């Protein structure tokens, strides 16, 4: 029986000892910026997931069963809802606007860091409000 992987052609690996073509430093910088943009997008996605659960959790708090201040719970939800907007900006696919452009990638990294910090700060305030509500 032939498996799919066995049916694929095998290409020989390059012989060892041959000099390799060095990569252009500008290309390496673009690759590093692309990786950083991807990493920041992943962090934004994780924060969006947290905010989703936090908002649903706060919305499902039963005030009569749990000693929680309804005003503070609403305040926490407001802060978390405000945090959603910068997070959504952080997950935008900005690389595609000017693919491979080093300066644009640098600007995109800066903007993604900025909106991620804003979102984290808003989320933190919401978490403090929620803790105040349930304590």
Model pLDDT for residues 99-129, shown as the tens digit of each residue: 878 898 999 999 999 999 999 999 999 999 9
The residue ranges of every structural domain in the chain are 25-134
pTM check: above 0.75: no
Which pLDDT score is estimated for 1?
47
Hey, CA dihedral for 126, 127, 130, 135, is it positive or negative? Answer: negative
- With a cut of 50, which residues of the chain have pLDDT below it? 1
> 80: which 2 tokens?
């978390």
Cα dihedral 36/29/110/84 (nearest 10): -20
């Amino acid at each position: 029986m032939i498996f799919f992987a066995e049916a694929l052609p095998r290409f020989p690996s390059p012989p060892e000892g041959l000099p390799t073509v060095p990569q252009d430093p500008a290309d390496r910088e673009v690759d590093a910026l692309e990786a950083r943009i991807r990493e920041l997008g992943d962090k934004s996605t994780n924060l969006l997931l947290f905010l989703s659960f936090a908002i649903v959790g706060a919305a499902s708090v039963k005030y009569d069963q749990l000693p929680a201040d309804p005003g503070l719970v609403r305040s926490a939800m407001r802060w978390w809802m405000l945090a959603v907007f910068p997070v959504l900006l952080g997950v935008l696919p900005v690389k595609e606007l000017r693919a491979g452009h080093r300066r644009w990638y640098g600007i995109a990294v800066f903007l993604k860091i900025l909106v991620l910090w804003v979102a984290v700060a808003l989320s933190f305030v919401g978490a403090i409000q929620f803790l105040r509500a349930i304590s």
